[in-house]
């Protein structure tokens, strides 16, 4: 089969259209460059009524929202999931990593939780504090101007709190807490755990005339049809196209490798079109990889040449190494004082937490080095498949019989509706060289591209942190006069610590640093080994922080884009 060359040479080829790819697209197209965006999935616009799930009712579907086809339920707006047919990944025996992929324009930004937190100075230099992991080659002061710009371009609500480890931004005002969140605030206070308004990228207030304002349906995971939440398509890629930028979208196009010349510089990418299953070549002066931390590592490892025998940018042998996801453990409690809810009002609110707890611990008094934040959920949500299962299970807390049938079931459902509060602990794990993804030489996907094999385990530091989470959840539930649901997971269950990948914050596979021997990119996200290749996804994260990574992906992608523009102007690349 002959590879088809696309005749045009682009200034920049961007692989992936999620947060990092979208931001690079916006900045480079706005700067007047001719940009090609290569996306493995289909075109997607949250405003298209054909694909829209926002405001759908469970009874619009015969399965009432069940998650048979989509891992997070039928209305969730991520095509793909933990397993994609024809695109396997494998594991080193005895280890576990679950890889969530969403192939579509905008990628996982269409369904994400929109929790938008800045890293602090400590997060960039955490090794200096406790000796674990590695410091970033940059400071908060390098990134904060970009955080500022991201806040203003995309919009994030929150409140100025003056907390050193949780830097304030240019916030839109937060929504008022819901009832269960007021209970949480009260419960946390008893244990001196701080609670502040959530920080999420949804528009509680207009920021321009192109995007709508939140109408509080609580369905950000369905991707907002009036563009009131941050999705990469609606906030970055479409605006880049609208402002007259030269943006060519190649959708349903699976990048196989980055092509290079005799000097080892990138010349473009080769991709397989899902439409005709043929291989194509695109030529570009600069290649920006933003396919997600693991996909980018995979493309690089599959890009072998005489100049890059170990894979593109892999002279350090570190591509794929230092993979780390946020730690995650959950807890939930039944709160009797939240029974018998008045259902006369709509409390959907925004699609996420109106309040949360940033990390509060003092590590000099704790047996683990890094912290976590607590996300809170609950309330009277839209019933979907699974609602009403074990309808009267909480009877057991009152010494009443569980089960049965008849009119009583109706009363039970209503009595307990909205009476559960749940917590997600989301924390920082330590990046370790022996947590990695590599190419599995024995397996290819349906496009003939070698797949990733994962090797991922949790360390002691993560397990101790998870134990602390469980103890905290128990205390919080107790403070609210509640009953924990389920048995508290102990050591034999890793304290409920979820497998790597399940929090979908995987980072670190192409980490930045000043030394080409111990890192893959420099502090401008530029490959040490090929100066016209940049990475704008979370691969470049030297460490994760106890914050969600998207806001930092956006800030660093913008920063890298500025650097690319400068280098192109100076004709250095």
Partner 1 sequence: MDRRKSIQTIILGAGASALAFHGCKTDNGETTVNEDIPATDDTNYFGRTPEELDRIEKLQAEQLLNEHEMETVAALSTVILPPKEPHGGPIEAEVPEFIEFMGKDIPEMQTTLLGGLMWLDHTSNTEFGKEFKSASLDQQKQICDRICYHDMDVPLDQQPLEIQFFALMRNLTVSGYYTSKVGIADLGYKGNSPNVWDGVPQEVLDQHGVAYDPEWIAKCVDQSKRNEIAEWDENKNLLT
DSSP codes of every residue in 514-544: S-TTT-SB-TTSBBSS-TTEEE-SGGG-S--
Decide if residue 512 touches partner 1 (CB under 8 A). Answer: no
Closer residue to partner 1 in complex, CB, 9/348:
348
Give 57's contacts (C-beta < 8 A, 6+ positions apart).
382
Decide if residue 485 touches partner 1 (CB under 8 A). Answer: no
Q: How far is the CB of 236 from partner 1 (least distance, A)?
A: 18
Phi, psi of 175 (to 5 degrees): -80, 160
Q: How far is the CB of 342 from partner 1 (least distance, A)?
A: 5
Decide if residue 344 touches partner 1 (CB under 8 A). Answer: yes
Distance CA 158, CA 196 (A): 9
Contact between 564 and 288 (Cβ < 8 Å)? yes
Q: At what angle do helices 179-190 and 460-479 cross, to 10 degrees?
A: 110
Site for partner 1 in 318-337 (CB under 8 A): 337
Q: Which stretch binds partner 1 (CB under 8 A): 216-224, 468-476, 496-504, 533-541?
A: 216-224
Decide if residue 347 touches partner 1 (CB under 8 A). Answer: yes
Q: Which of 348, 440, 474, 531 binds partner 1 (CB under 8 A)?
A: 348
Closer residue to partner 1 in complex, CB, 169/501:
169
SS3 per-residue string spanning 418-434: CCEEEEEEEECCCCCCC
Site for partner 1 in 49-108 (CB under 8 A): 49-66, 68-69, 75, 79
Q: Which of 179, 249, 444, 565 binds partner 1 (CB under 8 A)?
A: 179
DSSP codes of every residue in 412-469: HHHHHTT-EEEEEEEEPPPP-TTSEEEEEEEEE-TTS-EEEEEE----HHHHHHHHHH
Closer residue to partner 1 in complex, CB, 156/430:
156
Contact between 220 and 352 (Cβ < 8 Å)? yes
Q: Which of 387, 447, 463, 563 binds partner 1 (CB under 8 A)?
A: 387
Q: How far is the CB of 525 from partner 1 (least distance, A)?
A: 26
Closer residue to partner 1 in complex, CB, 198/539:
198
Site string for partner 1, 225-264 (x = CB under 8 A): xx-x------------------------------------
Nearest 5°: the CA angle 493, 499, 502 is 135
Q: Which of 409, 444, 485, 565 binds partner 1 (CB under 8 A)?
A: 409
Closer residue to partner 1 in complex, CB, 133/155:
155
Q: Which stretch binds partner 1 (CB under 8 A): 356-364, 405-413, 430-438, 458-466?
A: 405-413
Q: What stretches of 131-178 show up as alpha helix (H) in DSSP?
A: 140-154
Closest CA to 334 of 445, 434, 481, 210: 481
Site for partner 1 in 121-140 (CB under 8 A): none
Decide if residue 145 touches partner 1 (CB under 8 A). Answer: no
Query: What would you measure as the largest C-alpha separation in the chain, in angstroms?
Result: 78
Distance CA 64, CA 389 (A): 14
Q: How far is the CB of 550 from partner 1 (least distance, A)?
A: 20
Distance CA 552, CA 49 (A): 31
Q: Which stretch binds partner 1 (CB under 8 A): 27-35, 209-217, 244-252, 423-431?
A: 209-217
Closer residue to partner 1 in complex, CB, 353/430:
353
């Amino acid at each position: 089969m002959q590879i088809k060359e696309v005749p045009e040479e682009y200034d920049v080829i961007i692989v992936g259209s999620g947060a990092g790819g979208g931001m690079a697209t916006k900045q480079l197209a706005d700067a007047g460059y001719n940009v090609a965006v290569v996306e493995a999935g289909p075109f997607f616009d949250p405003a298209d009524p054909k694909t829209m799930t926002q405001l759908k009712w469970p009874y619009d579907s015969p399965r009432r929202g069940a998650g048979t086809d989509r891992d997070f339920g039928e209305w969730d707006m991520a095509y793909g999931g933990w397993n994609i047919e024809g695109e396997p990944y494998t594991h080193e025996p005895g280890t576990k990593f679950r890889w969530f992929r969403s192939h579509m324009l905008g990628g996982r930004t269409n369904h994400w939780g929109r929790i938008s937190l800045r890293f602090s100075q400590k997060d960039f230099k955490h090794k200096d504090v406790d000796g674990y992991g590695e410091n970033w080659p940059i400071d908060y002061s390098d990134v904060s101007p970009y955080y500022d710009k991201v806040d203003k371009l995309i919009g994030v609500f929150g409140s100025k709190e003056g907390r050193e480890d949780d830097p304030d931004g240019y916030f839109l005002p937060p929504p008022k807490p819901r009832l269960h969140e007021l209970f949480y605030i009260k419960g946390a206070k008893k244990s001196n755990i701080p609670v502040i308004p959530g920080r999420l990228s949804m528009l509680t207030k207009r920021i321009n005339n192109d995007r709508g304002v939140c109408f509080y349906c609580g369905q950000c995971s369905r991707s907002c049809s009036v563009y009131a939440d941050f999705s990469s398509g609606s906030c970055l890629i479409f605006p880049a196209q609208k402002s007259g930028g030269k943006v060519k979208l190649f959708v349903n196009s699976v990048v196989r490798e980055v092509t290079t010349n005799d000097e080892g510089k990138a010349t473009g990418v080769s991709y397989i079109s899902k439409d005709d299953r043929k291989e194509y070549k695109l030529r570009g002066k600069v290649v920006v990889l933003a396919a997600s931390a693991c996909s980018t590592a995979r493309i690089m490892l599959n890009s072998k040449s005489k100049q890059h025998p170990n894979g593109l940018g892999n002279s350090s042998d570190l591509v794929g190494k230092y993979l780390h996801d946020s730690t995650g453990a959950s807890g939930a409690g039944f709160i009797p004082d939240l029974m018998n809810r008045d259902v006369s009002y709509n409390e959907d609110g925004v699609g996420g937490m109106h309040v949360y707890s940033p990390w509060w611990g003092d590590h000099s008094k704790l047996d683990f080095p890094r912290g976590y934040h607590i996300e809170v959920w609950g309330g009277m949500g839209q019933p979907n498949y699974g609602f009403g299962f074990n309808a009267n299970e909480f009877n057991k807390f009152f010494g009443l019989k569980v089960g049965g049938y008849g009119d009583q079931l109706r009363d039970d459902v209503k009595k307990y509706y909205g009476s559960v509060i749940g917590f997600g602990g989301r924390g920082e794990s330590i990046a370790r060289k022996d947590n990695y993804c590599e190419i599995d030489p024995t397996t290819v996907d349906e496009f003939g591209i070698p797949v990733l094999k994962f090797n991922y385990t949790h360390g002691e530091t993560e397990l101790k942190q998870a134990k602390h989470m469980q103890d905290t959840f128990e205390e919080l539930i107790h403070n609210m006069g509640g009953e924990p649901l389920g048995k508290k997971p102990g050591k034999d269950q890793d304290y409920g610590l979820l497998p790597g990948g399940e929090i979908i914050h995987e980072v670190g596979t192409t980490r930045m640093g000043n030394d080409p021997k111990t890192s893959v990119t420099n502090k401008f996200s530029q490959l040490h080994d090929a100066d016209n290749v940049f990475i704008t996804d979370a691969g470049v994260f030297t460490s994760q922080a106890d914050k969600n990574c998207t806001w930092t992906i956006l800030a660093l992608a913008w920063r890298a884009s500025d650097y690319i523009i400068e280098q192109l102007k100076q004709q250095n690349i």
